[in-house]
Amino acid sequence: MSEYRDAGVDIDAGNKSEEFIGAEVKRTYNAQVISGVGGFGAVFSLSKVKKMKNPLLVSTMDGVGTKVKVAARMDVWDTVGADIVNHCSNDLAAMGAEPLFFLDYLASSKIAPEKIRKIVSGMANACEAIKCPLVGGETAEMPGVYGEGETDIVGCMVGVVEKKDLFDNSKIKSGDTLVGIASSGLHTNGYSLARKVLLDKAGFSLQDFLPELGCTIGEELLKVHKSYSKNIFTLRKKVKVKGIAHITGGGLYENVPRILPRGLSASYDYSTIESPHIFRLIQRSGGIPTDEMYRTFNMGVGLVVVVAKKDAKKTAKILKGLGERAWVLGAVIRQ
């Protein structure tokens, strides 16, 4: 007699993972979570939202891409769990929205309960840090769809913003200032190129310790994608922020233009950017042109905040007081 296990799907392993997940995510719950993991859907109260004058729901979904390849080779999984939460929180912050709740999607060729526990633990820690409940998700075992040992990590976050607080990018004008906020490394973009250059072409090992990095290459590549969410909302209480760009795939070249009105462009003082050593190592090892580096990686800039010129120095000072490395990066100009 054939069983589901014979086709490559282990229901018992899935159930064991669900037990781990339930214990981890419940510590992220708040009073608005009516029911979460275990049901056919999560139930979240909008009691606080309905007190807002004109609330708008904002949603985002993303993945951590091929960074999971590094996680698999290092057998370190909590960081990529945190990555996806923080990535989504930054996307919401770029719209002016605060997180309400988060859901995840984890898919593998074969469910490994301990791996799932570590990923979800990383997610739960990141959710706790930004006070965003992890209310549910999906753990799928799909042999034949994913290769042996492969895992995909995707997240969806829903947030809320008062209509008057939604960033109106049409208000951005020539002469406004671009304030950069430092990244913690590659974050979650450019890993296909980074792995090809460092591991295949240059022949480095993930276990190689490099003094200029202060850690192994694997540890550097697994540094967590920073969340700027809490600090952005503190900043907004003190300065008029006109717009925010989250510097993800496409780098400065493609992400800042997404928030600029037609006829305007960004001018950068590249000499102000203190790119972490990992970017220099990738460029040197691969002989990659500078333009291609800036089109692929964040190059040390995790977020770009647009403010009036008169507020630029104040903005950088406030962010520095919150523990961020922030500086005047450039200006908005006419094309």
Q: What is the mean pLDDT of each run of 10 residues along the chain (335 residues)?
A: 50 57 83 80 90 96 96 96 98 97 94 91 97 92 88 97 96 98 97 98 97 97 98 97 97 97 97 97 98 97 98 98 98 96
Question: For residue 280, how many C-alpha atoms fall within 13 Å in the half-sphere facing its CB?
Answer: 8
The C-alpha atoms of residue 151 and residue 148 are separated, in whole angstroms, by: 9
Q: What is the DSSP letter of 261?
A: P
Q: What pLDDT, on a 0 to 100 scale, did the predictor assign at position 150?
A: 87
**Which distant-in-sequence residues (6+ apart) come within 8 Å of 53 by Cβ?**
162, 163, 164
Burial (CB < 10 A; 0-12, 13-18, 19+), residue 142, is middle
Q: Tell me which residue of 119, 135, 324 sits closest to 227, measured CA to CA.
A: 324
Q: What pLDDT was estimated at residue 48?
A: 86
- Which helix (DSSP H) or strand (DSSP E) does residue 96 occupy? none
Residue 27 and residue 128 in contact, taking contact as beta carbons nearer than 8 Å: yes
Helices (H), the chain: 11-25, 67-74, 78-93, 113-129, 191-195, 217-221, 229-236, 251-255, 277-286, 290-296, 312-321
pLDDT of residue 206: 98
Q: Tell me the C-alpha to C-alpha distance, in Å, between residue 220 and each of 191, 209, 226, 281.
A: 12, 10, 14, 11
Residue 46, H or E segment: none
CA-to-CA dists, residue 96 to 69, 167, 169, 243, 283, angstroms: 32, 6, 11, 8, 34
Strand pairing report for 98-108 and 134-141: parallel
Closest CA to 306 of 315, 297, 296, 298: 315
Residue ranges and CATH numbers for the domains of the chain are: 4-165 (3.30.1330.10), 169-334 (3.90.650.10)
CB count within 10 Å of CB 32 equals 16
Q: Rounded to an integer, what distance in angstroms lies between the CA atom of residue 303 and that of residue 283?
A: 22
Task: Return d(Cα 82, Cα 268) in angstroms, integer.
Answer: 30
Cite the DSSP H helix spans in 66-112: 67-74, 78-93
Residue 130 to residue 108: CA distance in whole angstroms: 27
The reported pLDDT for the residue numbered 272 is 98
What gap in Å lies between CA 77 and CA 175, rounded to an integer? 44
Residue 22 has a pLDDT of 73
Whether 192 and 82 have beta carbons less than 8 Å apart is answered as no
* Whether 106 contacts 142, CB under 8 Å: no
